Amino acid sequence: MVIEQVIEKVKNRDPDQKEFHQAVWEVLESIEPVLKKNPQYMKAKILERIVEPERQIMFRVPWTDDKGEVQVNRGFRVQFNSAIGPYKGGLRFHPSVNLSTMKFLGFEQTFKNSLTGLPMGGGKGGSDFNATGKSESEVMRFCQSFMMELYRHIGPDTDVPAGDIGVGGREIGYLFGMYKKLQNEFTGVLTGKGRNWGGSLIRPEATGFGVVYYTQEMLRTDNLDIKGKTIAISGFGNVAWGVAKKCEMLGAKVVTLSGPDGYIYDENGVTGAKVDYMLQIRASGNDCIKDYADKYDVPFFPGERPWSVKCDIAIPCAIQNELGLDDAKKIIDNGCKYVTEAANMPCTAEAVEYLLKNGAMVAPAKAANAGGVATSGLEMSQNSMRLSWNAEEVDTRLHQIMVNIYKNCYDSAEKYGHKGNLIVGANIAGFVKVADAMLEQGIV
Ligand code: 2IT
């Protein structure tokens, strides 16, 4: 079968790119029923083409630290697919960044962006830069050096990066400043900008809000409401923050947060000033969650993940493969029936298989966390029109986009004989649109 052949070829070409193999396998194994009905995809070698990035850029990022010593990091931009729009996707600054993680993220982004219904292709970039313990001026010099190379490869109609792990409003500011200086142009070349210089309201909250909107739709399928539900989440960054904020607004209780150092359990819920405190911990650059436990006098579990906590909904918001088979078993043992992937590919393949086999509904990342990039798309529209919408207008559009994505995933799964499997539904719906665009544009 073609699918197996393509996967084998991907593995043989780049045997050490494990995360990329995992992402390719997950998408391709879902779309078999589509290929059977559409032989034209096979004839045009859509699979063979869609797993190969259109362009991969790797570059040296030299910068000087506060002691005057020269440091060298590696920079990436993988321009994966431009069939439905300019490349679009975040920049990640994290020590785990390498070509495999960049390719898996760019591949996922292609289908995620397709699901939003907006005209955006897929891309991803970043660096193995570790921001932990770095001073403000070190971060700025790093961002400036990164952009000194990246600027020649991007543009408002070519490739529009945004933030991801380790890249927030502060970093986007430094990157944008350098781009503007080099190009002598004020354009919407990045999203996640500050609100006074072209950024969209709600963009900081959008990924988390979208995750909760999608979760609401999933619960609605079972005639349930998110109000009153207990929710375990991991991470404490931008996505976790947006999730906690929206959960509080809707009367659901978030009881855990986590960092590389362990997790905290707050039985009264992460609410009010405690939600804002997450931003302070993030801004401190220490990358640990124990500070929350110390400040609010709640239990801290060093070196552990939050998945053994009893909850109605589990929402991993941290990083790829953070939720494995053992965690999935604990989630099921605790009677939890809903898992929403908020980080990109946070569940291992074994974990997903176990959850599905044991009757849980799993909301896949490329659908559930698409609210972030969707709102980036709305930022691009506002920049092009040179106007800005108010918060309510952006939030209403975001909500409608998430409702549409859910319906598209649910209906696509049902149409191809996998009712209730949102993973299959998301992969099929995301794939078909990109594949058709590639067909229509010929062999390029
Ligand atoms: O993973 C993601 O969708 C993002 N990091 C957001 C990308 C974007 O272009 O807003």
What confidence score (pLDDT) does residue 1 get? 80
* Number of domains the chain contains: 2
Tell me the β-bridge partners of 258.
Answer: 263
Task: Compute how many other C-beta atoms are within 10 angstroms of the C-beta atom of residue 295.
Answer: 13
> Residue 371: which of 362, 383, 379 has the closest Cα?
379
Q: What dihedral angle (degrees, nearest 10) is formed by the CA atoms of 338, 205, 187, 404?
A: 40
Residue 126's domain comprises: 2-187
Q: How many angstroms does the Cα of residue 164 sit away from the middle of ligand 1?
A: 6
Among 124, 134, 193, 253, the one annotated catalytic: 124
Can you give the CATH number for the domain in which 225 is found? 3.40.50.720
Catalytic status, residue 124: yes
Q: Which atom of ligand 1 is nearest to the CA of 370?
A: 3
**Per-residue pLDDT tens digits for 155-207:** 999 999 999 999 999 999 999 999 999 999 999 999 999 999 999 999 999 99
- 169 and 250, same domain (yes or no): no
Residues with Cβ within 6 A of ligand 1?
88-90, 112, 162, 164, 191, 344, 372-373, 376
DSSP output for 212-276: HHHHHHHHHHTT--STT-EEEE---SHHHHHHHHHHHHTT-EE-EEEETTEEEE-TT-S-THHHH
| Residue 161, H or E segment | strand 159-163
Residues 134 and 236 in one domain: no
The pick from 79, 109, 211 for probing ligand 1's pocket by mutation, whose C-beta has the most ligand atoms within 8 angstroms, reads: 109
SS3 377: helix
Distance of CA 312 from the midpoint of ligand 1 (Å): 27
Model-wide pTM > 0.95: yes
- The CATH number of residue 172's host domain is 3.40.50.10860
- Determine the distance separating the centroid of ligand 1 and the alpha carbon of 192, expressed in angstroms: 9
The helix-helix angle for 422-440 and 99-115 (nearest 10°) equals 90
Query: Is there a domain that residue 54 lies in?
Result: yes
* Residue 409, pLDDT above cutoff 90: yes
Give alpha helix (H) positions in 116-232: 136-150, 169-183, 203-221
| Strand stretches in 35-120, DSSP E | 55-64, 70-81, 87-93
- Shared domain for 81 and 175, answered yes or no, is yes
Residue 344 near residue 365 (C-beta atoms within 8 A) = yes
The closest alpha carbon to 365, from 329, 318, 414, belongs to 318
Residue 298 backbone phi and psi in degrees, to 5: -120, 160
Task: State pLDDT tens for residues 94-137.
Answer: 999 999 999 999 999 999 999 999 999 999 999 999 999 999 99
Pocket test for ligand 1, best of 112, 376, 401 (most atoms within 8 A of CB): 376
Is 410 a member of any domain?
no
Ligand 1 binding pocket mutation candidate from 189, 207, 398 (most atoms within 8 A of CB): 207
Evaluate whether residue 395 is within a structural domain. no
Same domain, 210 and 182: no
